A and B are shown apart, each in its own frame.
Chain A
Amino acid sequence: MSDLVIHVVDLVREYQMGAERIQALRGVSLEIRRNEYVAIMGPSGSGKSTMMNVLGCLDTPTSGEYWLAGQEVSRLSDDALARIRNREIGFVFQTFNLLPRATALQNVELPLVYGGVGGRDRRDRARRALERVGLGNRMDHRPNELSGGQRQRVAIARALVNEPAILLADEPTGNLDSTTSADVMRVFDRLQTQGQTIVLVTHEAEIAAHADRVVTLRDGRIASDLRQDRTRAA
C-alpha cells in the first residue's frame, strides 16, 4: 500500500450536455506505484483529458474511488482539493501557463506562495528547482525572454518545487519542435531516474516511448496497459 501513489477503482465521470448525458470515463481502475513512468494515451474523445483532470484533482469523479498518496480524494471540497494539488501534484501544461509578468524565479515560487512557504526558504527552494532543470542562469528572465524549451523547463521546475507525489504532464511537448521536445523529455527521464513518479498524457507515440508503461484509453475504458522497454535518448 505504501508503495501505491495512485489507486483508482472503477472511476466514472459523466457530463450533462444539454439533454444528453455523456460518459467520459466508464469504470477505470488503475494503480501507479512510486517512481513509475507512465504514459496515458488515446485518441481524442477517449477520456484522456478527463482522466488527467481527475488524476490532477482538478475535477472529481461521478463515482468510484481515487486514492492519492494514501488519501481518498474523490469526495473532497474545492479548497481541500486545492491543498492536495498544491502538495501532491506538479502540473506541466502543453501551453506552459507561466505568468508573463513574473520572472522565472517568481513563477517557480508560486506553488510555495500558496503552500505558505515564506521568504528566504522559498527563494532557495525555487532556485534549486530551476538548477535541477538546467536554468540556474535564467532565473531573472521573464517568459518572453526565454525560448519555448526553456519556458517548459521553468514550468517543470515549478511543478517540482513542492516535491509532489506525481508529476502530471499534459502533452508537454505539444507546442515544441522536435529538438526542444527531445530536450524537455531528457529532463523528465532524468527526474524519473532521480525517483520522481511521472504521468504523461499524450497522443504522440514518440513521447510515450519514453515511459516504462503505456496505458491506452478508448471510449472511456482502459483498452490496454502494457509495460515496455523505454527508449532513451543518449
Chain B
Amino acid sequence: MLRNIDEGVLIALESLRVNKLRSTLTILGVVIGVATVMTMASIVEGIRTQVFNAVNAAVPNVFYVMRWFGATPFDPSNPPYEVRIRPVLTENDAAAIARAPLVRHAALWCRFSSRIEFEDSRTQITEVWGSDERFIELQGGTLLAGRLFAPSEVRTGAPVTILASDVARSIFGRLDPVGRYVRMGNRALQVIGIWHPPDNAFRQPGATTGAFVPYRMAKGSFRFDETRELFVVVLGDLSVSVGDVRDQATVALRRFRGLRPGLPNTFDTITQDQMLQMVDRLTGAFFLVMIALSGVSLLVGGIGVMAIMMVSVTSRTREIGTRKALGATRQESLWQFLVEAATLTLVGGSIGILVGLGMGEVMKAGLAIDARPPLWSAAAAVVVSIAIGLGFGLYPANRAARMDPVEALRHE
C-alpha cells in the first residue's frame, strides 16, 4: 500500500494546482485552525518565558506574604468569608517576620493606581508602589538620577517619589525632574530620583510600575485593596533556599499572631515559583479555550475536505472503475483517496504553521514579548492536520472503495 502514497500525493497536489480557488476554500478552515493554535502557543509560550526569565533574573530570594492568594477573583469591597476571617497585614506583622532568622529584610508594601501629572502633561493610570528605601534590592533596576528614600522619609511617610524613567520622560520631556513636584491624586510629591526598571522583567502592557512612594505616604493618602494590594515583601538570606526562609517567616508570623499548632495559617506565602505555577494555570486554561475554538475551525475545515473529496470521488468514478479493473483492491482504492485527503489537509496545516509563525512575529512586535512558537506545536499541527484528512476522508474514500467496478466503468 505504501507504494501508492507518492501517487496519491501527486494527484492531490495536481488537483490543488488545477482547482486553486476551490482547494483554497477547502483547506481554509484547516489553515485557520492550525494558525490559531500556533499563534496561541507562541503567545502562551512567550508569556511563560517572560515570566520565567523575570522570576529567574529578578531576585531569587524574594517572596511575598499576603492576606489571601488565590486564582479566583472576588469583589474587594465584599470579600468571601474565608478571606474576611483573616486579619489584614500590618507593619507589626512585617516587623515580626523581619526578626526571624535567615530573613534579611521584611517590610509592608502596597500597590495602587494613579495618574501622574506635571503641569499640563499626565500619564495614563499607572501602577505606583508604596515601598521603602530598599526597593531596588528587592525589585531590581537601577537608580539613574537623584537618590533613594531616606529612612526618615520612609518613617514619616514624606511626600516624595521616585519616578520610572519612561514616566519621567513622558511628562517632563527634556526637563530635569529631580527636585520638581508632580501631582498624584490630590497630593503634590517632590521627585527625588529616577529609576530604570530591569530590562528583562515581565511587564504586562498597562501594568508598568510608574513610580515608588514611601509606604506610609501611600497608606495615608491613597486607597488600595487590603487583600490583594497589600503585602509583606521578604528578602531571604542568599545562602539558603527560599523555601527555608519561607518556613522561618511562617513560623515567626504564626507565633506573632498566636496561632496554636494544628490551626491553619491566617496568611499566604507566595514564592516566585508559585507565581509561575499560577501563570501556568491561567495560560493553561486560556490555551484550552483557544484549542476548543480552533477545534471548531478544524471541524469546519474537515467537513470542507469531506465535501470536496465526495466531489472528487464522484467525478472520478470511471477512473475508480478502471483502477479496479486493473487490479486495485478495496483497500487500495480506500488508501488512494485517504492519501489524497491527508495531503490536502497537510498542505493546509503547513500553510497554517507559516501563518502562525507570521502571527507570532506580529505579536512579538506588538506586545513586546518574545513569542516563539514551540517546536511541539508545529509537530502537533502536522499530526493533527493529517489526522483530519484521514478522519474526514474516510467516508468518501470508503464510497470509492465499495464501488462496483461494472457500474463504475459504465459511469458517464
Contact = CB atoms under 8 A, between A and B. Distances in A.
B328 A97 contact: no
B318 A97 contact: yes
Given A97-B318, A101-B14, A118-B3, A86 B327 contact: yes
Interface stretch (A39-47, A52-60, A180-188, A200-208): A52-60
Interface string A66-102: 0000000000001100110111000101010101010
Nearest to B401: A78
A82 B322 contact: no
Contacts of A86: 326-327
A87 B330 CA distance: 16
A111 B324 CA distance: 10
B11 to A, nearest CB: 7
Nearest to B405: A58
Most buried by A among B14, B324, B326, B328: B326
A91 B321 CA distance: 12
Given A97-B318, A99-B319, A114 B326 contact: yes
A3 to B, nearest CB: 25
Interface in B319-368: 319, 321-332
Contact of A87 (B323, B325, B327): B327
A224 to B, nearest CB: 26
B332 A59 contact: no
A110 interface: yes
B327 A82 contact: yes
A110 B323 contact: yes
B14 A116 contact: no
B56 to A, nearest CB: 55
A115 interface: yes
B contacts with A: majority SS: helix
Contact of B406 (A59, A95, A114): A59
Most buried by A among B318, B319, B321, B406: B406
A82 B329 contact: yes
B4 A113 contact: yes
Contacts of A153: none
Nearest to B7: A113
A48 interface: no
Contact of A78 (B14, B323, B330, B409): B330
Interface in A89-131: 91, 93, 95, 97, 99, 101, 110-111, 113-116, 118
Given A82-B330, A99-B319, A114-B332, 18 more contacts: A56-B325, A58-B405, A78-B330, A79-B329, A79-B330, A83-B327, A83-B329, A85-B325, A86-B326, A91-B325, A97-B319, A101-B11, A113-B3, A113-B4, A116-B3, A118-B3, A158-B326, A162-B327
30 contacts: A53-B406, A58-B325, A58-B405, A58-B406, A58-B409, A59-B406, A78-B330, A82-B328, A82-B329, A82-B330, A83-B327, A86-B326, A86-B327, A91-B325, A93-B322, A93-B325, A97-B319, A97-B322, A97-B325, A101-B11, A110-B326, A111-B326, A111-B327, A113-B3, A114-B326, A114-B329, A115-B327, A118-B3, A158-B326, A162-B327
